[in-house]
Amino acid sequence: MNLTAVLHAGFGVSMLAGILVSDATLRVAAFALGAILFVAGIVVSRRGD
């Protein structure tokens, strides 16, 4: 798997964790981490062009 795929998979896992976690602080942190991983995946894929 390439780095873009790994980052986007991390995004999916983080979003799922954010949905499953009941604590509001952890939920926000999981969603924020997911957003960072998603943007990082886009940046890495654009850099490869």
For the chain, 49 residues long, give each residue's pLDDT as a single digit of tens.
799 999 999 999 999 999 999 999 999 999 999 999 999 999 999 986 5
CB 44 within 8 A of CB 6: no
Specify the pTM: 0.85
d(CA 42, CA 20): 25
What integer pLDDT is reported at residue 18 of this predicted model?
92
pLDDT score for 15? 94
Boundaries of every domain in the chain: 3-47
